[in-house]
Amino acid sequence: MSVVALAAQHLTGLNLVAAADPSGAQAGVAADFSHDNFWIWLLKAVVIVIFMLTSVLIAIWFERRVVGRMQLRPGPNVHGPFGLLQSLADAMKLLLKEDITVKAADKVVYIVAPMIAVFCSLLTFAVIPFGPSVHIFGILTPLQLTDFPVAVLYILAAASVGVYGIVLGGWSSNSTYPLLGSVRSTAQVISYELSMSLSLVSVFVMAGSMSTSEIVSSQRSLWWAFPLLPAFVIYVISMVGETNRLPFDLPEAEGELVGGYATEYSSMKFAWFFLAEYINMINVSAVATTLFLGGWRAPWPISAINHGMFNTGWWPVLWFLVKLWALIFFFVWLRGTLLRLRYDQFMKFGWKLLIPVSLGWVVCVAAVQGVRQFSSLNLQTILVGLGVVVLVAVAVSYLIPEKKEPPASGRPSEPVEFDAFADGYPVPPLPGQVLPPSPRRARAAAAVAPAIDPGTDAQEVQRG
C-alpha cells in the first residue's frame, strides 16, 4: 500500500481509535503523573541533567570519529578505549585554562550570557517522554519529568530565550566580530524558528494536542513523518539552521567572523557556549523524534512482535535513543559533506522558500482536516491533488525571474563617501558607498610627486 493510501486511511480515523496496547497508552491520552512524589521528581531531574552532559561528551567524540572516517583519518584514538576519554580531556583542559576577560566588556552581562545559553538549553528535556509508565521504587510513573497541554510551545519559548545568551554575549564583548556574529545569530534564529514552528503546526492539527505525551500516543499506528512528510523535511532543515550547524553556521563561521559571538570568550565561559550548542543539537533531535518519529515507540515490524511487547517496560528507552542518535548522525553527516552557504543565500532560502512552503502546507493540512470533519469526499484524491498543487507552486516560484529595478536617474549613481568609524565600530561600506581616500596613500603620493620631472610623460610614470 502506498504512503498516500496509508496517510488517507490514518486520517479517516480507521487507525486512530484502536485497542489499548500492552503499555497502557491510548491514542491522545496524556501521561499520568498522579503517583509521583518529590523524590521521583528529583531523581528524574538529576538523571536528565546527567544524561544531557554525558550525551554531549559522547556526541563530541562521535562527531570527531565519524568526520574522521569520512575524511580518511582515524580521529581521536589515544585517550581511553577508542579515544572515548578525549572529550573528557578537552573539558578538563577548558576548565583549567586561563580565564581572560575583555577589559572593555560589560562584566555582568559578559559572564551571565553563557549561563543563559546553557540553562535555557537544559529546559527542553523536561517535557520529552523517554518511555511509557514504569515502576520506580514501587511507584508507577511515566518516563518523563512533566507534561502539560502546551508543552511544545514551552520548548519553542525556551529555544527563543536561549538566543539571548548569544546576542548578549556578542554585544557585551564590546568588539566588532562578536557583535556581527550576535546580529547574524538573531536574524538566523528568527528566520528558522518561524519555519520550524510552522512545520509543527500541522502536527498539532493532526494530533489534536500540543502535549508531547499525547502526540506520541497518537502515533501508535503511523508516525507523523509519513503523512506529514513536507513538514518533517522543513523541520529537519530548520533544526540545522536553528542550531548554527554546518552548512548554516554563519554566526560563528571561522572563515567569515573569526569565531563569531564567542571570539572574546575563553576557558569555561567558552565551554558553556560550546556545551549549549551541542545540547541544542540533542534537543532538536529529541523534538523531531517525539513529534514525527513516534517518540519512544518501536519501529515496525518490531512493534508487531508478540502484540507490542517491545513497547512496554524499559525497551522504549532503547528505541528513543536509537532514533535520537540517528538524527545526530545526520547532523554529523551534513558537516562532513556540505559546503557553507553565503549569508544572503541562507536568508533567502529561509524567507523565500521554507516559510512560504510551511504556510502553504499548514493550509493544506487544515483543509484536509476540515474535509475529514465536515465532508465525505475521498481523502486520498484530495491529498494527491494538494500535493500536486504544492509541487507546481514551488516549481513556478523558481521559474519567475527576479526583477531588478534600474536606478531612478537611469544611470548608475555616484558612490557616497561615508565615515567607517562614525559609530565607534569600523564597518565595511554598503553598496553605493565608498571609503574616503587613505591618508597613508595620500602622503606616499605627495612624497613621490616632487621626485617626478614635470616634463615626464604620464605613461612613463606608470611604467615605472
Which residue pairs from 143-146 have beta carbons closer than 8 angstroms and sit at least 24 positions apart in sequence?
A: 143/296, 143/316, 143/317, 144/31, 144/44, 144/212, 144/213, 145/41, 145/44, 145/45, 145/48, 146/33
Nearest to 213 by CA among 50, 44, 26: 26
H or E element, residue 375: none
**In 10 A of CB 349, how many CB atoms?**
18
Question: Bigger pLDDT: 366 or 251?
Answer: 366
pLDDT band at 54 (very low <50, low <70, confident <90, very high): very high
The reported pLDDT for the residue numbered 336 is 86
The reported pLDDT for the residue numbered 316 is 92
> Considering the domain boundaries, does residue 387 fall inside one?
no
The reported pLDDT for the residue numbered 404 is 62
Share of the chain above pLDDT 90, in %: 32
* Backbone φ, ψ for residue 38 (5° rounding): -60, -40
The reported pLDDT for the residue numbered 287 is 95
Mean of pLDDT values over 269-297: 92
Q: Which residue has the cell 612613463?
A: 460
pLDDT band at 257 (very low <50, low <70, confident <90, very high): low
User: What does 207-276 look like in DSSP terms, one character per residue?
Assistant: HT---HHHHHHTTSSS-TTTTTHHHHHHHHHHHHHHTT-TTS-GGG-HHHHTTGGGTT--HHHHHHHHHH
pLDDT at 392 over 90: no
> Considering the domain boundaries, does residue 152 fall inside one?
yes
pLDDT band at 23 (very low <50, low <70, confident <90, very high): very low
The reported pLDDT for the residue numbered 416 is 73
Maximal CA-CA distance, the chain = 104
The reported pLDDT for the residue numbered 204 is 92
> Considering the domain boundaries, does residue 383 fall inside one?
no
Angle between helices 176-207 and 151-172 (to 10 degrees): 180
Q: Do 128 and 118 touch, CB atoms closer than 8 A?
A: no
pLDDT at 398 over 50: yes
Domain residue limits at 194: 30-350
> Considering the domain boundaries, does residue 322 fall inside one?
yes
Strand-strand pairing, 139-143 and 131-136: antiparallel
Question: Bigger pLDDT: 84 or 4?
Answer: 84
pLDDT, tens only, 139-198: 999 999 999 899 999 999 998 888 888 889 889 988 888 888 888 888 888 888 889 999
**In 10 A of CB 408, how many CB atoms?**
7
pLDDT band at 291 (very low <50, low <70, confident <90, very high): very high
Nearest to 228 by CA among 417, 44, 6: 6
The reported pLDDT for the residue numbered 260 is 78
- Mean pLDDT across the chain, nearest whole number? 81
Q: Strand locations in 43-122, DSSP E?
A: none
pLDDT at 14 over 60: no
pLDDT at 26 over 90: no
pLDDT, tens only, 84-143: 899 899 889 888 888 888 888 888 999 999 999 999 999 999 999 998 989 888 899 999
pLDDT band at 313 (very low <50, low <70, confident <90, very high): confident
pLDDT band at 42 (very low <50, low <70, confident <90, very high): very high
**Region of poorest pLDDT, from 8-12, 38-42, 119-123, 282-286:** 8-12
The reported pLDDT for the residue numbered 371 is 78
The reported pLDDT for the residue numbered 181 is 82
Question: Bigger pLDDT: 38 or 403?
Answer: 38
pLDDT band at 214 (very low <50, low <70, confident <90, very high): very high
Q: Cis check for the bond before 247: say yes or no (omega within 30 of 0).
A: yes
> Considering the domain boundaries, does residue 68 fall inside one?
yes
User: What does 383-405 look like in DSSP terms, one character per residue?
Assistant: HHHHHHHHHHHHHHHHHSPPPPP
The reported pLDDT for the residue numbered 407 is 56
> Considering the domain boundaries, does residue 446 fall inside one?
no
Nearest to 149 by CA among 31, 45, 35, 42: 31
Q: Strand locations in 43-128, DSSP E?
A: none
Q: Do 166 and 252 touch, CB atoms closer than 8 A?
A: no
Count the domains in the chain. 1
> Considering the domain boundaries, does residue 242 fall inside one?
yes
Mean of pLDDT values over 410-425: 70
> Considering the domain boundaries, does residue 35 fall inside one?
yes
**Region of poorest pLDDT, from 114-123, 191-200, 214-223, 429-438:** 429-438
pLDDT band at 55 (very low <50, low <70, confident <90, very high): very high
Distance CA 70, CA 85 (A): 21
Residue 220, C-beta contacts closer than 8 angstroms, at least 6 positions apart: 15, 18, 21, 25, 27, 297
